[in-house]
Each structure stands twice: as structure tokens, then as C-alpha cells.
């Protein structure tokens, strides 16, 4: 268990002091201090995030220019252009919904993943010109579209870019660029997703409008995008996701309701990650993301049903194709390498990112899954492991790449076929040097050791209120040693891969558990067991019950 690492603990005096203030258990105070909550005032803000705490949108560079240009476009025709993933389609839907309320003349455009690729294309500019568009607002794309923006300018089309991806040294000559990651942008929070930036644009526009709209009802879009794009759930992101989830649960928009029918419990961030987000992404992966915008902006319930049924069908198709590609990729893994760079002919490009993420679960190292884009180019999805900046590694291999873009942990690449071997060699060398010749080793961090006897419904409900959980505000992981399974294992799910039963710790407290990925270990390991787990309240049967989700297992 050398790879089970307890995270740094707060000073005992600080825990005792916070416990006196909050009157809650010692171990929960420790969890709060790990998250920077060290006083009653900070606890109030943390447990009740207020929309008033959101930063002034006019702190963002070019916001004044963007709002002024949009107001001048009231008599023009505007096109909203978004990426085909969750962030792009929700951003497009949100901007379209808001400006439609404002009676702008609008159309929206989602590029075809297979015919155009990511972001702003010359085809999208031509489409705008043909439709008499004079202003394009891009969302979740555009920061690298230097040539495309120049092309739009030559056609008499202004572009406002809303993007959260890292800019290059040279940025497009757009009318305005809203991106907090620009080095000369003083906006205090840098980790908004594309939809978060679009919400800032709406907020800024609403502030200067005579008749104010209730834009808080649009935060469901921001919640979907922020969680699906795996943005840090701190600062503004946490506030917006908190209120966006309330909106989804209390008054879900028509386009989402069909996705929520099978959901018996309330929608939380994990439901977005594992249920809603993949369905939205499936449309862009399998067909075209435009169907998602059609669905999310639709106000006729009768029209949303066939649209959501089509999305469901595309998701089923995506899963089948993903399974096939994954099985092919697994056979090609070279466990002696420091990176997984795996190429296959005619794989569906829409599932490469998902497969790359799944491969990391199996072979813990930076992973690139590559297939054909056209006769001359290959396309690939890049995923990284915890703590390793894969985007920086790609920069070091830039001369072998035709095009690339993305984040610290996820990126996309295009490579000329003739340069694949050179890129692979250089990327492998870059990874090996970065980790000093040591292979990546998965480490499992946990917050605290805890006794099952402390996991009362009341205490678990307090911990649950620390949500929404995600990057930089992770769901607490606990450790318990010397546990034993007390009941027969039950296997559920389509492939009987999910395990349920009961487990007892050294306090002789018995709790139900579920495990989604440890079937083999649970079958083969003998008690006593050491476990890492998370906790939640299961209300499925109408009765609240504490339930463990086992993440890791070892025997003594």
C-alpha cells in the first residue's frame, strides 16, 4: 500500500479551534481546513455559495468592447459559433436563448467534426457570409483561429471570441477577445470554461440593458459545461455549478427532461459526468452537435421527445463503437514505453478521447490515440495522468505537429502521416526525460482514516454539503483498515460488473457498500481488508441510508 498516500493534515490546534466555532465533528473540521475553510464566516460562504460573490464581468479584457459591439448589432444578423462538445453546445444554446429573449436576429452554427474539425473553419465563415451575417460570436473556440479571423475580416464580418483555451503568442485580430488566460487580462479567476465566459458576457450585457432579465435561470448550462469540461470546482465555478444544479433539479428545461426520467435521485455533479454529459457529447461524436443545440433551445415539448430519442440512439451507438475501438487499442499497448501512442486505421474519431481516458485506467501514462483524418493527416486525442502537463510536452514536440491545442490534461493533435514516427519518438523521449526515467505510478490519495461509527446520516449529510465535488474540491476519500465483508456478494449491471454487499470495520459497525470497478479483488481477496472509499446518502428506496463506494482494496 505504498501508493496509498494520506494528504497533508491540518494542525490539531486549528482543528480544535474550528470545532469550537462550528460545533461539528472533529474529522469534518479537518476536511474543511484541507479546503481552506478555517472560520465560521468562510464556512457560511462555502456551504451557501452566493451569486453576489461572482466577479464583475467588466474586469475581463475587451468586455466593454464586446458588449458595445453586440448592442450595435441589434439591427444586424448575428451568428453564434460553438464547438461540438458539451461546453460548446451548451454555450451556444445559452447565448442563443438569451439574445433571442432580447429580440436579436440570430442563427447558430456547430462545425461538423468530420468535415471541418475543431473550431472556426473557412466553411463556417463562408456560411456566415451567405447568410448575411455581420457579427460572429465564437464560444469554446477561436483563440487559435488567426487565419480564419483574418478571412472573416476580409469578408466584412466582425468576430467576438469567447474561449478559455491557452492563447498562442500570436492571437487572432478579432473585434474582441474574452479569455481570462490572456497574459494582459486582469480578470481574477482564470479557470472558467467556455460557457462560464459566455455567461460573463451575458451578465455584462444584462447589466447595461434597460430591462433586466433573470439570467440565473441560465446557470444550468454553465453547470453542465463546467462539470463536463472537468474545470476546477472552486471560486466562481463552484458558485455557478451549485446554483446551476439547483436549476436543473427544480425546473429542468424541456430539452433535458427526457434524460432525467430514469434518474430517481436528484441530479448532482456525478450524474452530469456519467449520465447527461456523455449523452450530449455523443451527438457531436457520432453525427453533429447541432442536434444538441436544437434540443436545448426547443420550447415545444412535443418536438423535444424525438430529438432526445435520437440523442439516446446516438449514445448507444457511441458506446458500441467505443467498446470496439477500446478492445483494439488494448491489444496494441506496449508496457515498456513511457507513453501510449497508439494508431489504428479508420477508427471513429469521435471516441478517441474517451478511449484514451479509459486506456489510462489500464496503463497509467500519458496516452494519445490516433487515427486517419484524411489522406494526408492523422488526428489524435491526448489525455494525461495526474500532475503531468501534457500540453507542455506537446509544445516541446511542436515541430512534428501539424496542429494542436488543449489543456494541461487533455489536448487534440493533427499530424502529417509522414511525421508520425518522428513525433512518436520525440514525444516518448520528452516524457521519459520529464519523469527522469521513472515510469508513472498511480498514487491514491486519501483525506483521513475514519471509523464507520462516525459515519452517521447526520455527519454524512454535512459532508455532502461540501459539494459540488470535482477538480480541486474532490469528494473526500476515507481509509478504513481491518474490515470484513459480512454478507454474500451481489452482482448487478448489464455485465454483472457492479458489486454490492455489506462490510464491517473494527468498530463492529456494518454499512452497505457498492463497487463499480473492484469485482475481481472483492472475489479473490480474503478478510481482513483495507479499503479506500467515498460516502454518500442512498435514498433510492425512499429511506436515507449511508452507503460506501469502494475505490481501492488491499489485504493485510
pLDDT above 70: residue 263: no
Axis-axis angle for helices 86-101, 194-207 (nearest 10): 10
Query: Which whole number is the average pLDDT over 403-416?
Result: 88
Q: Which of left, alpha, beta for 329 (phi over 0: left; psi -120 to 50: alpha)?
A: alpha
Q: Which of left, alpha, beta for 446 (phi over 0: left; psi -120 to 50: alpha)?
A: beta
What pLDDT shows up at residue 408? Answer: 82
- Rounded to two decimals, the pTM is 0.90
Instruction: Kindly state the helix (H) or strand (E) to which residue 510 belongs, with its residue range.
Output: strand 510-515
Instruction: Kindly state the helix (H) or strand (E) to which residue 554 belongs, with its residue range.
Output: strand 545-555
Closest to 447 measured CA to CA, from 413, 474, 476: 476
What pLDDT shows up at residue 360? Answer: 94
What pLDDT shows up at residue 264? Answer: 60
What pLDDT shows up at residue 262? Answer: 60
Distance CA 218, CA 215 (A): 5
What pLDDT shows up at residue 232? Answer: 93
DSSP state of 11: P
Distance CA 532, CA 549 (A): 9
What pLDDT shows up at residue 1? Answer: 61
End-to-end, the C-alpha distance of the chain in Å comes to 9
What pLDDT shows up at residue 240? Answer: 98
Q: Which of 99-103, 132-136, 203-207, 256-260 has the lowest mean pLDDT?
A: 256-260
What pLDDT shows up at residue 386? Answer: 85
- The model's confidence at residue 248, banded by pLDDT at 50, 70 and 90, is very high
What values do phi and psi take at 215, rounded to 5? -75, -10
pLDDT above 80: residue 308: yes
**Count of alpha carbons within 13 angstroms of residue 511, beta-carbon side:** 29
Give all strands of the β-sheet with 158-162 in edge-to-edge order.
Answer: 105-109, 77-82, 135-139, 158-162, 176-178
pLDDT above 90: residue 409: no
User: 448-449 and 478-485: which strand pairing?
Assistant: parallel
Q: What tens digit of pLDDT does each residue of 423-446 get?
A: 999 999 999 999 887 888 888 999
Query: Residues 241, 222: contact at Cβ < 8 Å?
Result: yes
User: 158-162 and 176-178: which strand pairing?
Assistant: parallel
Distance CA 516, CA 500 (A): 9
Query: Residues 162, 195: contact at Cβ < 8 Å?
Result: no
Q: What tens digit of pLDDT does each residue of 111-147 get?
A: 988 787 778 999 999 999 999 999 999 999 999 999 9
Q: Over pLDDT 90: what percentage of the chain?
A: 81
pLDDT above 70: residue 70: yes
The set of long-range contacts for 67-71, using a CB threshold of 8 Å and a minimum separation of 24, is 67/201, 67/204, 67/205, 67/208, 69/135, 69/158, 69/160, 69/175, 69/176, 70/99, 70/135, 70/137, 70/160, 70/205, 71/205, 71/208
Q: Hey, how many other C-beta atoms are within 10 angstroms of the C-beta on 512?
A: 14
Q: What tens digit of pLDDT does each residue of 339-397 get?
A: 999 999 999 988 999 999 999 988 999 999 999 988 899 999 999 998 899 999 999 99
Distance CA 60, CA 9 (A): 36
Query: Residues 118, 141: contact at Cβ < 8 Å?
Result: yes
Closest to 198 measured CA to CA, from 57, 72, 73, 59: 57
Query: Which whole number is the average pLDDT over 267-294?
Result: 90
DSSP H helix total and E strand total for the chain: 20, 19
Q: What tens digit of pLDDT does each residue of 143-201 get?
A: 999 999 999 999 999 999 999 998 989 999 999 999 999 999 999 999 999 999 999 99
Sorted by where each starts, the structural domains of the chain and their CATH numbers stand as: 4-8+444-555 (2.40.50.460), 57-311 (3.90.1640.30), 333-434 (3.10.310.30)
Distance CA 66, CA 79 (A): 14
Distances (CA, A) of 180 to 81, 227, 389: 19, 19, 19
Query: Which whole number is the average pLDDT over 221-240?
Result: 95
**Count of alpha carbons within 13 angstroms of residue 495, beta-carbon side:** 4
Instruction: Kindly state the helix (H) or strand (E) to which residue 378 belongs, with its residue range.
Output: strand 377-383
Q: Hey, how many other C-beta atoms are within 10 angstroms of the C-beta on 204?
A: 21
Q: Over pLDDT 70: what percentage of the chain?
A: 99
**How far is residue 199 CA from its own chain's centroid?**
17
Q: What tens digit of pLDDT does each residue of 9-57 get?
A: 999 999 999 999 999 999 999 999 999 999 999 999 999 999 999 999 9
Amino acid at each position: 500500500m505504498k501508493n496509498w498516500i494520506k494528504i497533508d493534515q491540518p494542525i490539531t490546534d486549528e482543528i480544535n479551534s474550528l470545532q469550537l466555532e462550528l460545533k461539528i465533528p472533529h474529522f469534518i473540521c479537518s476536511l474543511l481546513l484541507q479546503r481552506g475553510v478555517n472560520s465560521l464566516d468562510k464556512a457560511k460562504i462555502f456551504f451557501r455559495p452566493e451569486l453576489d460573490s461572482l466577479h464583475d464581468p467588466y474586469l475581463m479584457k475587451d468586455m466593454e468592447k464586446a458588449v458595445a459591439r453586440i448592442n450595435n448589432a441589434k439591427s444586424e444578423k448575428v451568428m453564434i459559433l460553438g464547438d461540438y462538445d458539451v461546453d460548446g453546445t451548451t454555450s451556444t444554446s445559452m447565448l442563443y436563448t438569451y439574445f433571442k429573449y432580447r429580440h436579436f436576429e440570430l442563427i447558430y452554427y456547430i462545425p461538423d467534426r468530420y468535415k471541418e474539425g475543431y473550431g472556426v473553419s473557412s466553411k463556417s465563415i463562408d456560411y456566415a457570409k451567405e447568410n448575411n451575417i455581420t457579427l460572429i460570436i465564437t464560444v469554446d473556440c477561436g483563440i487559435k483561429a488567426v487565419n480564419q479571423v483574418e478571412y472573416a475580416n476580409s469578408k466584412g464580418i466582425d468576430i467576438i471570441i469567447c474561449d478559455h483555451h491557452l492563447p498562442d503568442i500570436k492571437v487572432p485580430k478579432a473585434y474582441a477577445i474574452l479569455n481570462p488566460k490572456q497574459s494582459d487580462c486582469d480578470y481574477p479567476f482564470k479557470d472558467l470554461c467556455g460557457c462560464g465566459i459566455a455567461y460573463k458576457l451575458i451578465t455584462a450585457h444584462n447589466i447595461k440593458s434597460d430591462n433586466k432579465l433573470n439570467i440565473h435561470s441560465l446557470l444550468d448550462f454553465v453547470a453542465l459545461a463546467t462539470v463536463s469540461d472537468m474545470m476546477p470546482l472552486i471560486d466562481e465555478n463552484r458558485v455557478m455549478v451549485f446554483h446551476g444544479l439547483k436549476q436543473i433539479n427544480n425546473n429542468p428545461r424541456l430539452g433535458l427532461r427526457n434524460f432525467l426520467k430514469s434518474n430517481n435521485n436528484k441530479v448532482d455533479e456525478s450524474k452530469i459526468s456519467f449520465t447527461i454529459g456523455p449523452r450530449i457529447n455523443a451527438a457531436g461524436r457520432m453525427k453533429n452537435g447541432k442536434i444538441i443545440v436544437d434540443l436545448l433551445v426547443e420550447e415545444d415539448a412535443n418536438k423535444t421527445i424525438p430529438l432526445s430519442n435520437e440523442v439516446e440512439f446516438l449514445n448507444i451507438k457511441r458506446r458500441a463503437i467505443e467498446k470496439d475501438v477500446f478492445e483494439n487499442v488494448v491489444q496494441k499497448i506496449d508496457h515498456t514505453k513511457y507513453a501510449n501512442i497508439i494508431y489504428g486505421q479508420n477508427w471513429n474519431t469521435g471516441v478517441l478521447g474517451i478511449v484514451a481516458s479509459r486506456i489510462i485506467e489500464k496503463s497509467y501514462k500519458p496516452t494519445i490515440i490516433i487515427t486517419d483524418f484524411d489522406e494526408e493527416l492523422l488526428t489524435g486525442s491526448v489525455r494525461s495522468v495526474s500532475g503531468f502537463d501534457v500540453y507542455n510536452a506537446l509544445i516541446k514536440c511542436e515541430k512534428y505537429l501539424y496542429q494542436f491545442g488543449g489543456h494541461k490534461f487533455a489536448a487534440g493533435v493533427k499530424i502529417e502521416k509522414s511525421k508520425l514516427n518522428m513525433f512518436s519518438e520525440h514525444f516518448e523521449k520528452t516524457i521519459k526525460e520529464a519523469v527522469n526515467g521513472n515510469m508513472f505510478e498511480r498514487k491514491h490519495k486519501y483525506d483521513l482514516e475514519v471509523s464507520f461509527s462516525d459515519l452517521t446520516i447526520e455527519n454524512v449529510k454535512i459532508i455532502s454539503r461540501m459539494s459540488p465535488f470535482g477538480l480541486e474540491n474532490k469528494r473526500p476519500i476515507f481509509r478504513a483498515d481491518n474490515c470484513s465483508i459480512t454478507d454474500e456478494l451481489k452482482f448487478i449491471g448489464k455485465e454483472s460488473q457492479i458489486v454490492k454487499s455489506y462490510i464491517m470495520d473494527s468498530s463492529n459497525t456494518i454499512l452497505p457498500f457498492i463497487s463499480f470497478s473492484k469485482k475481481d479483488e472483492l472475489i479473490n481477496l480474503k478478510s481482513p481488508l483495507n479499503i479506500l472509499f467515498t460516502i454518500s446518502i442512498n435514498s433510492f428506496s425512499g429511506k436515507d441510508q449511508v452507503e460506501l463506494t469502494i475505490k481501492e482494496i488491499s489485504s493485510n
